[in-house]
Amino acid sequence: MSQPRECASRLSSCVRLLVTLVDDRQPGYTRHATAVARLSRMVGMRVGLDELELEHLRLASLLHDAGSLRLPFPHVGSRWDLPAEERRVWETHPRQGARMAGMLGLPPDVAATILGHHERWDGSGYPDALSEAATPLSARILGVCDVYDSARSGFMDAREVRLSEDEALEHLLCDEVSRFDQTVVGALRDALVDDREIGVLTGMYA
Ligand SMILES: [Fe+2]
């Protein structure tokens, strides 16, 4: 095996290992991260990202919650009910994940995408409360796709409520002061319409 291919193969094994380790703490994470990676690619293509940007977005999608591995408490599956102090710790996971991406030698935009995946358009997100385009486009795509898949699949919802496609899009579209980049949400909506013929998501929300 040539050296660059050997490195790529090792990196890919490291990413798979981290995804598996997160899944041990957050059952269903492997499915969720795979779905987010597929959705992010569909949206990224629609907004004009090139192949390299799409590959970096794929890696960030797979690793977006890897930072949770560095948190001191194991019960992240019930994170919506966390006491204030544990929530504060939980909200460090994007920064921890970005650091881990750096340790793996991944490109800086992978780390920046992970860092920004919980920032929101109206500045209500974390860890830095950035608003609008202060967060990279790739992170805004990842954030929208993360929320969409979580809503559709019930991932991380203690009651495992699963919304329909229309309900999940409504959730992303209808905030009074939008928490999400509406250009990205529109691209997701269009990509989902296209996917009825292409079938990238077939079986994902059966
Ligand atoms: Fe996250």
pLDDT digits (tens, 9 = 90+) for 17-46: 999 999 998 889 999 999 999 999 999 999
Handedness of CA 78, 70, 21, 111 (dihedral sign): positive
Cα(203) to centroid(ligand 1), Å:
24
Q: What's the confidence (pLDDT) of residue 178? A: 87
In a domain, 205, yes or no: no
Q: What's the confidence (pLDDT) of residue 182? A: 93
Structure tokens, 193? 């319409």
In a domain, 204, yes or no: no
> Residue 172 sits in a domain of what CATH number?
1.10.3210.10
Handedness of CA 133, 182, 168, 31 (dihedral sign): negative
Cα(86) to centroid(ligand 1), Å:
15
Q: What's the confidence (pLDDT) of residue 9? A: 87
In a domain, 203, yes or no: no
d(CA 126, CA 120): 8
Cα(131) to centroid(ligand 1), Å:
17
Q: Torsion angle, CA of 40/201/163/137, rounded to 10 degrees?
A: 10
d(CA 162, CA 140): 22
Cα(51) to centroid(ligand 1), Å:
24
Domain that holds residue 66: 3-198
Cα(4) to centroid(ligand 1), Å:
31
Which parts of the chain sit beneath pLDDT 70? 1, 74-80, 157-160, 174-177
Cα(156) to centroid(ligand 1), Å:
10
Cα(199) to centroid(ligand 1), Å:
26
In a domain, 69, yes or no: yes
Cα(1) to centroid(ligand 1), Å:
35
Cα(118) to centroid(ligand 1), Å:
6
To the nearest whole number, what is the mean pLDDT of the chain? Answer: 91
In a domain, 136, yes or no: yes
In a domain, 59, yes or no: yes
Cα(154) to centroid(ligand 1), Å:
15
Cα(73) to centroid(ligand 1), Å:
15
In a domain, 206, yes or no: no
Cα(2) to centroid(ligand 1), Å:
35
d(CA 103, CA 93): 15
Q: Are 136 and 147 in contact (CB under 8 A)?
A: no
d(CA 114, CA 97): 6
Cα(6) to centroid(ligand 1), Å:
30
- Residue 151 Ramachandran class (φ > 0 left, ψ -120 to 50 alpha, else beta): alpha
Cα(45) to centroid(ligand 1), Å:
22
Amino acid at the residue 11: L
Q: What's the confidence (pLDDT) of residue 159? A: 65
For the chain, the domain total comes to 1
